[in-house]
Amino acid sequence: MTSTTTAVDPGAVRKEPAADQATPTTRKRGIPRAGWTIISAKEFSDHVLSSRFLVLAIIMAIAAAVPLYFISGQIREAPSGATDFPALFIALFWLTPSVNDQIQLPSVVGFLAMVGPLLGLAFSFDAINGERANGTLPRLLSQPIHRDDVINGKFGAGLAVIAMVLVVMIGGVTAFALIRLGIVPEANELLRVFLWILLTLIYIALWLAFGLLLSVGIRRAATSALVGFGTWLLLTFFGGLIVSLINGVVAPLTTGSGEDVLKNIGLRETLQRLLPDTLYREASLTLLNPQVTTVSTPATLGQYAQAQQRIPSLFSLDQSFILIWPQVVALVGLTVACFALAYVLFMRQEVRA
């Protein structure tokens, strides 16, 4: 008796998956939130709820309210002259108010040039060394974040707080102009004010980066605060005196000729542009006042005579911005240099528990 064997094709038999067996799927990983944004949000809330924020907000409010009060009085007393004044809304920011014949107050731009750096220094002088003194820096760096997220987050939080204060202050000035004076700003004026807010933010960010550099390089917060506020006091209030002394030594007036006088003035202006507040004042005045057509004194008598014969005109926004382009680049360059130096120094420091 013979047996028949049937050949079975292995490819013909397919194994069916069990009904209760799940098919393996690839799990998609979500993009984690950047570490610097988490630190920035935490620092922002700490800044807003701190007492230093309240004090500095009051100082900035006074810096804007005092000149506005006296400027509005001058405008209301001379409505006919004020009506013919070009760009009256933005003139509220750069006009110099007079209390009486002997006393003159700084404009809003002047007040911001003096007290604006306080915002930057106050929110950064203890940003790193404060964490180090409290012993929280090693624990912060032990979290699953990159090391540079710490310094980036603290800088971003300071910028956000400063921007919020500036926007609220400018909004208050706009409301004051609309309610008390009945001045309705035009679109070109609002654009100039917007660019001026960005310029002010860059100026204060320079001091924020400088304070961050001091916080990284100096171990004690009290020492960094002393150095930071001392530097602000020296450059803001005594910078002009230092420039005059250097100018008198480098280029003294040996004769009374016009060429020597113009050379002396030109050197003094060049030295003054080494001060951040001078760069900010020149750029702000040119941006807010379309009547400003130059920021430098002519170098020769021929150029001075041509400037005197020039027909008065109003600059457009692009012409004003071209005029202040060197000042803006200088402020941005100083800010980037201070922050880059603080960044490199922090990345190379050793953090011990």
Global confidence as pTM: 0.83
- Residue among 326, 327, 226 at smallest CA distance from 276: 327
5, pLDDT greater than 50? no
19, pLDDT greater than 60? no
Higher pLDDT residue, 257 or 330?
330
Contact 135, 351 (CB under 8 A): no
Q: Cα(89)–Cα(92) distance, rounded to whole angstroms? A: 6
82, pLDDT greater than 60? no
Rg (CA), the chain: 30
Q: Please, which pLDDT band fits residue 6 given cuts at 50, 70 and 90?
A: very low
Say if residue 103 is exposed, middle or buried (CB neighbours under 10 Å; 0-12, 13-18, 19+): exposed
Segment 18-35 shows an average pLDDT of 50
Tokens in use for 204?
A: 């204060």
C-alpha dihedral (265, 270, 276, 282), degrees to nearest 10: 60
Segment 156-176 shows an average pLDDT of 88
Segment 295-311 shows an average pLDDT of 59
pLDDT at 200 (0 to 100): 94
Name beta bridge partners: 98.
Answer: 104
Q: Please, which pLDDT band fits residue 306 given cuts at 50, 70 and 90?
A: low
pLDDT at 254 (0 to 100): 65
Give per-residue pLDDT as tens, 233-282: 999 888 888 888 887 777 776 666 666 777 777 788 888 888 999 999 99
Query: What angle (nearest 5°) sits at the alpha carbon of residue 271, between those of residues 232 and 229?
Result: 5
Q: Please, which pLDDT band fits residue 8 given cuts at 50, 70 and 90?
A: very low
2, pLDDT greater than 50? no
Tokens in use for 120?
A: 């930057």
pLDDT at 307 (0 to 100): 55
198, pLDDT greater than 80? yes
Segment 16-24 shows an average pLDDT of 48
pLDDT at 138 (0 to 100): 82
94, pLDDT greater than 80? yes
Which residues touch 261 (CB under 8 Å, ≥6 apart)?
A: 253
| Lowest mean pLDDT, pick from 68-82, 99-113, 118-132, 139-153 | 68-82
CB neighbours of residue 97 within 10 Å: 20
